[in-house]
Amino acid sequence: MKLDRRAFLASALVPLLSPGASLGAATPRRGGVLVVAADTEPRNLNPALVASNGVFFVASKVVEPLAEMAYTDAGLEPRLALSWEGSRDGRSVTFRLRPGVRFHDGTPFTSADVAYCALELWKKHQNLGRAFFKDLEAVDTPDPHTAVLRFSEPTPAQLVANALPPLTAVVPRRLFEGTDPLANPHNQKLVGTGPFRFVEHKPGQYYRLERNPDYWGAPLPWLDGIVYRVLPDRGAIAAALESGEIHLAAFSAVPLADMKRLASVPGIAVIAEGYEGITYQITVEINHRRKELADVRVRRAIAHAIDRDFVVRTIFLGWAKPATGPVPRFDKAFYTDDVPSYPFDPARAEALLDAAGYPRKADGVRFAVELMPAPWFEQTRQMGEYLRQALRTIGIEARLVLKDPAGHQKAVYTDHAFDLAIGSPVYRNDPAISTTILYESGLPAGVPFSNQYGYANPEMDRVIRAAARALDPEERAALYRRFQRLAMEDLPIVPVCEFTFLTVARTSVRNVASNPRWAVSNWADCWLEA
C-alpha cells in the first residue's frame, strides 16, 4: 500500500534538516562499531513474542522477519522468505524460504522454525499476533524451504503482506520447543539469523552486538558491531552526540527543542526519513470499568476538553498533526475523515458532564481520576501534564501516576489498575495488524498495546472480523471506514495527534534511513566513514 508520509515529512521538516541529511551514497567501508543511544531496556527482547518498536530497535539486528518494508513499488523486500503467494480463496499463503541460512548457533534455518514460531509464538503469545493469527490452524512444511500457512477463515493477501515486517520474526525452534516460551532465557540472550549476533546486556549500561561473519547476506554487514548505550536522560543524549561519544540517536530521543540547533552543528545531521512505515498516535486510554468513564458522554467531554492544535504546537513544536480517528491521514487506502469530531470546546464538555449526572461539587470538582502517562517518550509524559490541566478546567481532578516502562505496562495491560492513561499506539500499514486490536473485545489480560480498557461493542467486533476476512480491497476499505466511524462515536480511546520521528546522527554514519522502517530494521548496509 502506498503511504503518503514522505511528502508530509518533506513539507514539515526539511527546513530543519542538515545538508545531505540522507547520509547515503559513497562506497561502503568495512569496520567500526556504531554507538547508539537507547533510552529504555525492554524486559523481553524477543520480537517473535513482543512486536513493539522498543524491542525491534535492538532485536531486529539479530532476529529477522520473513520480509521487510522497502522504498520500492512493491513496498517489500525479501528477508527469510524469497517469495510468498496467497491462494485464491484466501485460506493459505505459500512461502518459499531462503536456502543456506543458519542461526547464530550454527543450526540451519528451515520451514520447521517458521511453523513453530507461527503456531506456538506468534499465534499464542505475540501481543499483535494473537489477534492477527487467530485463524491460523496449521503450517505445512513439505520441504525445508517451503512453509504453507493455512487459515480457517479467508485472510486477505494484502493483509498478510502488510504484516510480514512487524509480525513474522523467526527464532530457532530448537531453543524454544518444550520450554515455557515466556520464561525462556533466549528472550534476552537472542539467537537469530541476522547480520549481528547478540553478545551481552549490562543493565543500566549497554547492549552489545557483534558482526555475524556467516551472514547469508554477505558481504554485509559492514559494521564490526553495534553498542546501545543506555541513556535515559535526553539532554545527555544530545550532549553525547555533540561530543562524539555516540554516533546516533533514533526515535526523536533528542529533545525536539534541540533539533534546530543540532542541525546547524558541523558533523551532525537531523534526518526525517526512515519512519514512513511507523506512524504513532498520542491517545487517551480510558478504563471503562470505572462507572463515570463507561458513560460515552463523559468520554466525549474529555475529547472536547483537549486542544489538539495546542498539543501539536506546544508539545510537538509543530512536528505532528491533529488526529481525526484511529487510522492516520497518511494512509490513503483506508483513511476517512467522515467521522464524528470533537473540537476544543470546554463549555460543551461541561454541559456533557452535567447531563451525565456529574455536576461540580462545592469545591468545584465533579470527580477525581488517576492519570498514568506512558513513560516511553518525552511527549507522552508532557501530554499527561497537559491533560491534567485540561481536565481541571472542566471539573475533573486528575492525579498523575508515574511508573517505569515495566510498571506502566503491567498496570494498564495486565492489572487494569488505571483510570486514564496516555498511550502511543503505532500504526503498522494496515488496521488489522496494530489498530483494530485496540478496539476488539475479548482479549485476555496481559496482551500489551491492546484493548485492555473493558470496551465491548458487538457491532465493532463484527466489523473488525468482517474486514479481516474480506478478500476484495474495496470491501476491506469500506469496512474500515465503518470501523473509524464507530471508533469515533463510541470513543473507547481518544486519538489526539499523529506523529513520526527524527534521527540525529554524526555525518560519519552512512546509509541511514534506507527503508521505511529503518530504525527497527537490520542495519546490515549501515557503515562508518573512517
For the chain, the domains span 5-41+203-276+502-528, 67-175, 279-499
The count of other CB atoms within 10 Å of the CB of residue 172 is 24
pLDDT of residue 530: 85
CATH of 67-175, one of 3.40.50.2300, 3.40.109.10, 3.30.70.1290, 3.90.76.10: 3.90.76.10
Q: Which residue has the cell 475533573?
A: 396
- The predicted model scores a pTM of 0.81
At 287 the three-state DSSP class reads: coil
pLDDT of residue 23: 59
Cα–Cα dist 19/14, whole Å: 10
The count of other CB atoms within 10 Å of the CB of residue 470 is 22
Spatial neighbors of 473 by CB under 8 A, at least 6 apart, are 156, 158, 333
pLDDT of residue 5: 42
Mean pLDDT, 10 residues at a time, the chain of 530 residues: 41 40 72 95 95 95 97 93 95 97 98 98 94 94 98 92 95 98 97 98 97 98 98 91 96 89 93 90 97 98 98 93 94 94 98 98 98 92 97 98 93 96 92 94 90 96 95 95 98 96 95 95 96
Spatial neighbors of 54 by CB under 8 A, at least 6 apart, are 40, 42, 376, 405
pLDDT of residue 447: 87
Where is 200: in which H helix or E strand?
strand 196-202
Provide the CA 494 distance to its chain's centre, in angstroms. 18
At 436 the three-state DSSP class reads: helix
At 312 the three-state DSSP class reads: helix
pLDDT of residue 324: 96
> What is the DSSP annotation of 219-262?
T---SSEEEEEE---HHHHHHHHHHTS-SEE-TT-S-GGGHHHH
Cα–Cα dist 108/466, whole Å: 39
Where is 201: in which H helix or E strand?
strand 196-202
* Residue pair 172/113 in contact by the 8 Å Cβ criterion: yes
Cα–Cα dist 118/127, whole Å: 13
Cα–Cα dist 330/30, whole Å: 37
pLDDT of residue 231: 93
pLDDT of residue 17: 46
pLDDT of residue 7: 41
Question: Could you tell me the three cell numbers for 105?
Answer: 548457533
Burial class (CB in 10 A: 0-12, 13-18, 19+), 438: buried
Task: Give the Å distances, CA to CA, from 120 to 79, 143, 445.
Answer: 21, 20, 18
- The architecture of the domain spanning 5-41+203-276+502-528 is 3-Layer(aba) Sandwich (3.40)
| Number of helices (H), then strands (E), in the chain | 16, 22
- What fold is seen in the domain 279-499? Dipeptide-binding Protein; domain 3 (3.10.105)
